[in-house]
């Protein structure tokens, strides 16, 4: 431990850009300066203003739709009998799923000691938070009278009632609330040391005070770090079962019912895999432009993109297995309604959506077997976008095809989204992007202190061993 | 010599994590106890070197989780069995399997909250003022410099002797910290 070693990285082996999770030549100072400069000193790129303007206009579309919805009622949407769960539930599940990658990267990859998570965890966590915010909008607005949302919560009330915990929809309230809270805590606790860095480096008084207020007087004391690492590790341990539980509970919304196509035991694992799949697709979708426009190729390297592509491939294959099992069980169960459900997906009025989802989620994905494709940034970006679309189509198929033709042909119907379904959906993308743009501008998109901790270990120490300062908690 | 009130302590600056760990170990061996180290990222072995071995945080989190789980279960039991019994699907009022998801979520909720709030409370944060910030160089503690602080209230502290000791440890600079 006491060997003389400067902070500069010296590579003992030739630099392999495909394996590095941090480009060579960086020091503690250069990492700090480069990442904090994005927030503090660098001129805001013109592209940021353009992107933010578009996102903000879409957000206004959301506000307009929500206002019209509150004034008129959910009748402005296409939801009606028999399809009472239209875009709102589709989008809710889609957004919640996207949120899962953030916690997976922060918590599960931390516990598995995947050091490459370090440069992508911060914005993946932010993405989680914003995706959960978008998801939360839909059930609230779907209630029809959102101003009575607190009826969902268990509190003694003059009506003499309580929420019914035998319903998975009530489980949802608890799962989503807990998930949003824990995601926020995880994100914020990770930010504290970096907020202290910004406080110490900000030149203008206003920002010094603002970041100083948020950093709460963090000074990097060894005792504080010991408790901090312990808290972070425990949070990761708590968030790991949580992230699995959240999409499991979301899948219970479907699986606990007796609707053909929903009543399936495979739903929880299949939903969790789908959530991670779509979440990583969204992380890739955001990471590629971010590293390009902010010149962060040193920190978000090809190794990161390659690893994320591999996770997409693995989870995508699990999702593909889920599709196969749905079809197999429909046939094997011998239940005529289940069998009709899958035939209706394959040949019914929504068949093009089902086939498109198979092409997007299973077909296009296979390109990621090729290392050449995984290392081609443009191809990877295109595939990630296709997967985002595919996962949305999957939720459309699950929600709509099962509901529109269930048991009695006399009660069959068709679901047609209205213009306000679309403006609401586009608007929630606007909300997500607006928050993302503000985050990129105001907070460090990459965890600065964790990147510093990564530095000594990317350089072999003279003694032969490598130092791993942040690897294990420093207290028992 | 620890009577002086115009001095909070002496702050030694280092440029590498191994150096501050080695210095902290030497200072501890020398008999200093009232000390702290400041680093831009968690450094392995540093907390032990200044004599910090255990944190009560895991116990706080465990208790928080148990409290959350118990609270969740008690809430559901009260609501579904005592205050508002309702037959749903022919299930008993105390249909505990249906309570599991909510009890799980409240457990995690309170455990996570106690992890964060417990960490902040044990660390004494938020702390609006701390003397080390009076040293201008300390701004680099959040960038690329590593600091070792020996407080003036340490019985072994002596303004000159401690300064010489810290300089002998290979510090790049030793700064006086105003209280």
- Contact between A74 and A142 (Cβ < 8 Å): yes
- Residue count of chain A, please give it: 476
Same domain? B146 vs B135:
yes
* Residue A424 domain flag: yes
Interface subset of B 2-21, CB within 8 angstroms of A? 15-19, 21
**Residue A296 to residues A32, A168, A173, A293, A303: CA-CA distances in angstroms?**
13, 43, 38, 8, 13
pLDDT digits (tens, 9 = 90+) for A156-172: 889 888 998 888 889 99
Residues of chain B contacting A226 with CB distance shorter than 8 Å: 42, 47, 52, 55
B99 in a structural domain: yes
Q: How many CA atoms lie within 13 A of A306 on its CB side?
A: 13
Determine the structural domain holding residue A167 and report its residue range: 28-154+162-458
What's the rounded Cα separation, in Å, for the pair A337 and A81?
19
Pair A344, A401: CB distance under 8 Å: yes
Given an 8 Å threshold on Cβ–Cβ distance, is B105 in contact with A162? no
Is A468 at the interface with chain B, CB within 8 A?
yes
Whether residue B68 lies inside any domain: the answer is: yes
Computed over every residue of chain B, the mean pLDDT equals: 88
CA A41/CA A198 separation, integer angstroms: 11
Give the pLDDT of residue A462.
Answer: 40
A199–B142 CB contact, under 8 Å: yes
Cβ pair B41:A469 closer than 8 A: yes
Q: Confirm whether B4 is domain-assigned.
A: no
Domain count, chain A: 1
Residue A220 Ramachandran class (φ > 0 left, ψ -120 to 50 alpha, else beta) = left
User: Which of B103, B122, B141 lies at the terminal end of a domain, its last residue?
Assistant: B122
Are B110 and B25 members of one domain?
no
Q: Answer left, alpha or beta for residue A261, where phi above 0 means left and psi between -120 and 50 means alpha.
A: left
B143 → closest Cβ in A3, A28, A245 = A28
pLDDT number for residue A475: 39
Q: Which of residues 151-170 of A touch B (CB under 8 A)?
A: 154, 160-166, 168, 170
User: What confidence score (pLDDT) does residue A399 get?
Assistant: 92
Residue B2 has pLDDT above 70, yes or no: no
Instruction: Confirm or reject contact between B70 and chain A (CB < 8 A).
Output: no
**Rounded CA gap, A377 and A381, in Å?**
6
Total count of domains within chain B: 2
SS3 category, A141:
helix
Q: Which domain holds residue B113?
A: 57-122
What's the pLDDT at A460? 45
Mean pLDDT score of chain A, rounded to an integer?
Answer: 86
B120 touches chain A (CB under 8 A): yes
3-state secondary structure of B147: strand
Q: How many CB pairs under 8 A join A and B?
A: 239
Q: Which residue has the tokens 């609401």?
A: A424
The pLDDT of residue A468: 43
Measure the CA–CA gap between A137 and B151, rounded to whole angstroms: 52
Kindly identify which residue of chain A lies nearest to residue B25, measuring between CA atoms: A2
Q: What is the per-residue pLDDT for A5?
A: 44
Is A118 an 8 Å CB contact of chain B?
no
CB A222 to CB B111 under 8 A?
Answer: no
Whole-number Å distance between alpha carbons of A162 and B151: 57
Q: Would residue A98 count as lying in a domain?
A: yes
Q: Are B1 and B173 in contact (CB under 8 A)?
A: no
pLDDT score of B136: 86
3-state secondary structure of A301: coil
- Give yes or no for residue B147 having a pLDDT over 70: yes
pLDDT one-digit tens code per residue, A341-363 = 999 999 999 999 999 999 999 99
The pLDDT of residue B109: 95
- Helix ranges (H only) for A205-335 are 205-215, 222-255, 267-293, 302-332
Indicate the pLDDT class of residue B5, thresholds 50, 70 and 90.
low
């Amino acid at each position: 431990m006491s060997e003389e070693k400067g902070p500069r990285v010296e590579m003992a082996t030739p630099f392999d850009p495909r394996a590095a999770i941090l480009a060579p030549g960086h020091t503690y100072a250069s990492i700090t300066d480069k990442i904090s400069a994005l927030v503090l000193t660098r001129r805001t790129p013109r592209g940021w203003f353009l992107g933010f303007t578009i996102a903000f206009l879409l957000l206004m579309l959301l506000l307009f739709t929500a206002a019209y919805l509150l004034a008129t009622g959910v009748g402005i949407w296409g939801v009606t009998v028999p399809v009472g769960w239209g875009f709102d539930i589709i989008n809710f599940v889609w957004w919640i799923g996207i949120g899962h990658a953030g916690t997976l990267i922060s918590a599960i990859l931390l516990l598995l000691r995947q050091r490459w998570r370090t440069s992508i965890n911060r914005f993946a966590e932010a993405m989680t938070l914003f995706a959960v915010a978008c998801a939360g909008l839909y059930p609230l607005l779907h209630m029809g009278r959102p101003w009575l949302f607190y009826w969902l919560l268990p509190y003694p009330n003059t009506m003499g009632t309580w929420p019914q915990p035998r319903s998975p929809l009530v489980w949802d309230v608890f799962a989503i609330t807990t998930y949003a809270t824990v995601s926020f805590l995880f994100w914020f606790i990770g930010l504290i040391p970096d907020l202290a860095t910004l406080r110490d480096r900000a030149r203008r008084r206003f920002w010094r005070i603002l970041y100083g207020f948020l950093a709460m007087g963090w000074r990097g004391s060894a005792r504080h770090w010991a408790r901090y690492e312990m808290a972070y590790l425990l949070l990761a341990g708590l968030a790991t079962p949580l992230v699995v539980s959240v999409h499991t509970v979301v899948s219970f919304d479907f699986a606990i019912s007796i609707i053909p196509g929903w009543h399936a035991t495979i739903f929880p694992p299949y939903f969790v895999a789908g959530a991670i799949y779509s979440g990583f697709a969204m992380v890739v979708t955001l990471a590629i432009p971010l590293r390009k426009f902010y010149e962060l190729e040193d920190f978000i390297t090809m190794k990161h993109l390659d690893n994320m592509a591999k996770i997409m491939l693995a989870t995508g294959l699990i999702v593909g297995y889920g599709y196969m099992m749905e079809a197999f069980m429909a046939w094997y169960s011998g239940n005529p309604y289940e069998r009709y459900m899958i035939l209706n997906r394959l040949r019914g009025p929504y068949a093009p959506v089902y086939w498109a989802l198979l092409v997007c989620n299973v077909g296009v994905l296979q390109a990621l077997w090729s290392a050449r494709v995984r290392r081609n940034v443009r191809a990877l970006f295109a595939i990630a976008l296709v997967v985002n679309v595919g996962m949305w189509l999957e939720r459309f198929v699950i929600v709509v095809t099962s509901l529109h033709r269930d048991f009695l042909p006399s009660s069959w119907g068709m679901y047609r989204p209205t213009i306000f379904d679309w403006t609401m959906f586009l608007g929630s993308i606007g909300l997500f992007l607006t928050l993302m743009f503000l985050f990129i501008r105001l907070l460090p998109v990459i965890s600065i202190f964790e990147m510093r901790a990564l530095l000594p270990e990317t350089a072999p120490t003279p003694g032969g061993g490598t130092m791993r300062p942040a690897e294990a908690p420093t207290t028992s | 010599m620890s009577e002086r009130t115009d001095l909070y302590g002496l702050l030694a600056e280092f440029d590498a994590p191994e150096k501050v760990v080695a210095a902290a170990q030497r200072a501890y061996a020398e008999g200093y106890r009232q000390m702290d180290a400041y680093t831009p990222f968690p450094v392995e072995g540093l907390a032990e070197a200044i004599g910090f071995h255990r944190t009560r945080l895991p116990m706080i989190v465990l208790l928080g989780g148990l409290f959350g789980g118990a609270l969740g279960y008690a809430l559901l039991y009260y609501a579904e069995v005592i205050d508002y019994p309702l037959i749903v699907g022919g299930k008993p009022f105390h249909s505990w399997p249906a309570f599991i998801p909510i009890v799980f979520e409240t457990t995690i909720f309170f455990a996570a909250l106690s992890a964060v709030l417990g960490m902040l409370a044990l660390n004494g944060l938020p702390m609006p003022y701390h003397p080390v910030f009076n040293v201008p160089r300390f701004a680099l503690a959040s960038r690329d410099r590593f600091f070792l602080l020996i407080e003036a209230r340490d019985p072994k502290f002596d303004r000159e002797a401690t300064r010489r000791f810290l300089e002998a440890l290979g510090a790049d600079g030793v700064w006086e910290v105003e209280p």
